[in-house]
Amino acid sequence: MTMLKIRSDLHTHTTASHGKGSMEDNVRAAAALGLQKIAITDHGPAHLFGVGIANEKVLLQQKAKARQLAPLWPQIEILVGVEANIISPDGRLDVSESILEQLDIVLIGLHPRVLPASAGSAKALVWQNWLAGFPRFQPAAIETNTAALIRALERYRVDVVAHPGLHLRIDTLALAAAAAKRNVALELSAGHHVEKAYLERVLQTPAKLVISSDAHRPEDVGSFLPALKLAAELKIPALRILNASS
């Protein structure tokens, strides 16, 4: 089974959010593996229970830190981004546009333990997804979740949708079609179980993919094997994966 080569890890976390290592720890790990790029993409501030960054200004502090580290690690490009949370059904994110514009890469995602933008948003994104545990309520939750993601793509400059459908159910085919129109990649995460059916639906559209580790520990940076095995099984060409080569 021939596997692709991944040139960059575009989804990693540090102690600024839910990670266990520093930015330099992640950079060191990536450089040791010979990666060309690493992205620091900590969770947005609306993530509850200490998972998210303290506030969005942390992202600018990380940009400054990356500039300090760059001369020490000339063999690898250090990107600073965010894994922003959707906090309303109309696709609002928990990071302002003025901050997003200064980042190197923007990931967005749906997560269950996030502070919604309003009571109405809580009803749509929290209560409705709780009810989705019962089959009769699943279609409404899927419709709301998918629309929220697509509206975020329409409202903001987005590079990658992180682990689509992992925590909250979505219509993968509809999201992939919308992502393809806006040149947004969908993540094939090596850090989480990925259903084969998800990838098969994505491949029905022209949408691009990104393989990443979603590393929360420095030792997991650059760990792509589960995703690579699935990509090889489905014979996904390198041209479909933005950070891969054959």
Show me where the domains of the chain are located: 5-245
CATH number given to 5-245: 3.20.20.140
Q: Which pLDDT does position 136 carry in this prediction?
A: 95
Q: Which pLDDT does position 204 carry in this prediction?
A: 96
Q: Which pLDDT does position 195 carry in this prediction?
A: 86
Bridge pairing between strands 209-212 and 244-245: unpaired
pLDDT tens digits along 10-54: 999 999 999 999 999 999 999 999 999 999 999 999 999 999 999
CB-based contacts of 82: which residues, under 8 Å, 6+ apart? 41, 42, 43, 44, 53, 59, 95, 100, 103, 106, 107
- β-strand partners of 209: 186, 241
Q: How many CB atoms lie within 10 A of CB 204?
A: 12
pTM of the entire structure?
0.96
In degrees and rounded to multiples of 5, residue 100 shows phi and psi of: -55, -40
DSSP secondary structure letters along 109-145:
E--SSB--SSHHHHIIIIIHHHHTTSGGGHHHHHHHH
Low-confidence ranges of the chain (pLDDT < 50): none
DSSP secondary structure letters along 97-113:
HHHHTTSSEEEEE--SS
Q: Which pLDDT does position 1 carry in this prediction?
A: 57
Q: Which pLDDT does position 228 carry in this prediction?
A: 95
Angle formed by the axes of helices 138-155 and 172-181, to 10°?
A: 10
In degrees and rounded to multiples of 5, residue 161 shows phi and psi of: -95, 120
112 burial class (0-12, 13-18, 19+ CB within 10 angstroms)? Answer: exposed
| Secondary element (H or E) of residue 187 | strand 185-189
